[in-house]
Amino acid sequence: MPRLAACANALLRPVDAPVGREPVVVAYGGGVDSTALLVGLHKCGRQVDLILFADTGSEKPQTYAYLDIMDGWLIQRGMPAITRVKRNSPRAGDTSLHGECLRKSVLPSLAYGRHSCSLKWKVDPQWAFCRRHFGWHSRRLRWAHGPTITKMIGYNAGPKDAKRISNAVGKRPPGHRYEYPLVEWGWDRQRCEDEIRAAGLPVPLKSACFMCPASKEPEVVWLQGNHPDLAAIAMEMEVRAHRRGLRTVQGLGRRWSWTKFLLERSSQVGGRQ
């Protein structure tokens, strides 16, 4: 944390000393905060050994396209390209989070107020890759190179992410030392967007699965307008969950159904024409 504090605010001086033998891993989500994190680390001169993107198979097309843009930017600056990791489920054969939900006739766990989908499809694949890549001794509970690796997370300096950091305590895999550079630098969401533009990059779309229960109504409208095929999958997910006996929530919006909302909106739009 003290090293990061030295890079706060204007980031006037690069850090010449490398981290040492403890590897630095960045969890990259393809959104604004994690992109700004990489921009800031480059400005700060901080050594990065591995950049991991956990592919749920259910990201928006714009997010997948942005990975290629970001790869080019990183490579031009001597930083590692993004390593895409994915959950393996050889028994069930699920290749995506939405595929698993359709098969089971359930909604993503966030719709029920839980976070198991994120742990299963994002945290676990990164943990599995790091175990193989750096050599994790399960009996000694340490890495081949030493006791820890540094894991950097792109939570910004806003109050919502402060709560996320607090909630993450006690849910982390062993052998990790977590750092939150955006918080140390005092970068809120607006500052993150400004830094991305200043680095010559387009501001990425919000990173989330296309059927994320945290989506707001305008985001659902955007999805239907730009990717009607994905909106149809989300609605089919609700249909199957209700057929299975969904009672605890209304739908992907928890207190509201995407299907009902989109159908009513379509009817209203059609009626005004």
155 touches 182 (CB < 8 A): yes
Task: Identify the pLDDT of residue 4.
Answer: 45
Task: Identify the pLDDT of residue 165.
Answer: 72
What span, in angstroms and rounded, lies between the C-alpha atoms of 77 and 165? Answer: 30
**Average pLDDT score, the chain:** 88
What span, in angstroms and rounded, lies between the C-alpha atoms of 24 and 121? Answer: 21
The pair phi, psi for residue 102, each rounded to 5°, is: -65, -40
114 CB contacts (<8 Å, ≥6 apart)? none
Average pLDDT over residues 45-66: 96
Under the banding of pLDDT at 50, 70 and 90, the label for residue 160 is: confident
121 touches 234 (CB < 8 A): no
Single-letter amino acid code for the residue at 115: H
Task: Identify the pLDDT of residue 88.
Answer: 74
Each residue's pLDDT tens digit, 101-118: 999 999 999 999 998 888
233 touches 57 (CB < 8 A): no
Taking 50 as the threshold, does the pLDDT of residue 5 lie above it?
no
Taking 50 as the threshold, does the pLDDT of residue 3 lie above it?
no
Q: Which fold has domain 2-198?
A: Rossmann fold (3.40.50)
Task: Identify the pLDDT of residue 164.
Answer: 73
Taking 50 as the threshold, does the pLDDT of residue 260 lie above it?
yes
Residue listed under structure tokens 């299963």: 120
Furthest-apart CA pair in the chain: how many Å? 68
Task: Identify the pLDDT of residue 97.
Answer: 96
Q: Which of 108-117, 137-146, 216-225 has the highest mean pLDDT?
A: 216-225
User: Mind giving me the DSSP string for 182-226?
Assistant: HHHHT--HHHHHHHHHHTT-PPPPPPSBTT-TT--HHHHHHHHHH
Task: Identify the pLDDT of residue 14.
Answer: 31
pTM (two decimals): 0.87
Task: Identify the pLDDT of residue 212.
Answer: 97
Average pLDDT over residues 158-187: 82
Under the banding of pLDDT at 50, 70 and 90, the label for residue 213 is: very high
Per-domain boundaries in the chain = 2-198, 217-272
Under the banding of pLDDT at 50, 70 and 90, the label for residue 9 is: very low
